[in-house]
Structure 1
């Protein structure tokens, strides 16, 4: 099969397009013929070696965890899917090797759900990681109707999904955006959030919108943005971060997304109901995955960067 892979840590320049062995299908996995795979910052961070202390890399590594496609072979123990089923998945393992930037991926059923019928393969490929992250963190924060939630980097992939899901619970959302980006402001407002712009007056903006503080805060970027967040919380307000372990010392929770078929199925249902959407900003063919990574790393896009795979009969 054709795939993207890398044999050493580095940037987009280490990616190679070529032939790789078709993956073996275990008892609890299905072979998925890939239609699209979304690019996420964690892909190029893993590729750069930033997670080497956590995840072993078995070179050559095929990058990518998000995928959508069609089941072509179920494993012998699989009852959840059959040939021809359209699926999406967050196909993360505890090591780096068998990713989704390929014509085929062997995906454990615990990582998959049926693709929303209302979504294209490109849109569905962009849902799993950001959707599961937002869904699981908001659950950990126990966000409820009538509460006010602050979402950092609300125009980003995870942030935009968090805004949509929090609004669906009946919460009021304050979405934080970077200055000088009117498109980001309008995008966040279009999702139903009130916007606050990072800068010297950011705390005052949030306080003017929530004089008693926010009930929950969802941090996606860490650093100084996280450190200034506790002062914006209401009494007994909750804080969680997906990017900075220092959140624990601030009294919050450090959250890592995990594959969960039930959560992913719930997100698929919300997508079919029109509750959540996944804008696709740019698509690239598989052989141009390096350019897709560069586009994702530069940022400033309001939507997912997706790699597409052309089917060959």
Structure 2
């Protein structure tokens, strides 16, 4: 008899309403993969952009699709040639594959070893699930831009999951951080070590008031702010965006986060050392995955949205 699992799936592109709880076959475990019992999954904007068909020209999709790339869970079984893990190991993963089909909004997911790291011991399951994509995105952007001691970094979108990670990682690298956010999130940004500035008209002037000589690095995690970036960037400054491909025309880099076990291990070490935290804003049950996606689309949460899958 084929073993099955509960999963949130959709069989046509659309909004959150296309998502429903269904029974699906347990994933097959290829060589170099492990089967993970998912404890918690995190919702990211890329999930609903894929669901809406926005990346159909970039990624192959096979319906029904289980969304989600972020998760924390326990290894259930290992495939051929996997000396790194054994059943019972607690792991986190940015489980992005080369096609869209079997994601992490499910009781089980098959995960290539290259997408995994051991779960930080002091993190609860929801926070751990919120670390991989956001942490890797911020870490890889800041690394690519050569962020280091004595630099001034501007983070666009400081209150989001990626922005919060970016603030902490830039501070850990020895940089001064200015970050944008709505005023009600300014205390949160200060607690992470950033100097907050408000969105809206005059943003470039507000940043220049804090950094008259310009900023050395701009990390754009929201998009639509290229004019501000170019207005505040120092003459030899560097910038990148994960949300606006037009940065390339202005000398910046358009980046897409990569699964990287070594990078994820490093982030887990920072968490265990107390140098990186993940704030979870809202948590939903797997049966309410559509509501979790809708909350992400609304964009009013300061931190990660997670889905508790199993206990």
Question: How far apart, in 2, do the equivalents of 1:50 and 1:6 lie?
Answer: 15
Q: Does 1:206 align with 2:210?
A: no
The answer for the alignment partner of 1:188 in structure 2 is: 189
- SS of equivalent residue, structure 1 residue 92: coil
Normalising by structure 1, report the TM-score.
Answer: 0.97
The answer for the alignment partner of 1:89 in structure 2 is: 93
- SS of equivalent residue, structure 1 residue 59: strand
Question: How far apart, in 2, do the equivalents of 1:81 and 1:227 lie?
Answer: 47
The answer for the alignment partner of 1:268 in structure 2 is: 268
Q: How far does residue 227 in structure 1 lie from its aligned partner after superposition?
A: 2.5
The answer for the alignment partner of 1:159 in structure 2 is: 163
Q: How far does residue 241 in structure 1 lie from its aligned partner after superposition?
A: 0.6
Q: How far does residue 199 in structure 1 lie from its aligned partner after superposition?
A: 2.1
The answer for the alignment partner of 1:63 in structure 2 is: 67
Matches within 5 A, 1:237-248: 237-248=237-248
Question: How far apart, in 2, do the equivalents of 1:279 and 1:176 lie?
Answer: 17
Q: Deviations over 1:98-137 (max 9, x none)?
A: 1001010000000000000010111100000000000000
Q: Does 1:113 align with 2:117?
A: yes
* Number of residues of Structure 1 aligned to a counterpart in Structure 2: 307
Q: Deviations over 1:113-165 (max 9, x none)?
A: 00000101111000000000000000000001010000001111111110000
* Contiguous gaps of at least 5 residues in structure 2: none
Question: How far apart, in 2, do the equivalents of 1:86 and 1:47 lie?
Answer: 29
The answer for the alignment partner of 1:277 in structure 2 is: 277
Matches within 5 A, 1:21-170: 21-170=25-174
* Contiguous gaps of at least 5 residues in structure 1: none
Question: How far apart, in 2, do the equivalents of 1:55 and 1:226 lie?
Answer: 26
- SS of equivalent residue, structure 1 residue 20: strand
Normalising by structure 2, report the TM-score.
Answer: 0.97
Q: How far does residue 226 in structure 1 lie from its aligned partner after superposition?
A: 1.6
Question: How far apart, in 2, do the equivalents of 1:172 and 1:246 lie?
Answer: 26
The answer for the alignment partner of 2:198 in structure 1 is: 197
The answer for the alignment partner of 2:310 in structure 1 is: 310
Q: How far does residue 296 in structure 1 lie from its aligned partner after superposition?
A: 1.3
Return structure 1 stretches of 4+ with deviation > 3 angstroms.
none
- Which shifted more, 228-237 or 66-75? 228-237
Contact preservation (8 Å) 2:160, 2:304:
no
Question: How far apart, in 1, do the equivalents of 2:92 and 2:310 lie?
Answer: 17
Contact preservation (8 Å) 2:285, 2:309:
yes
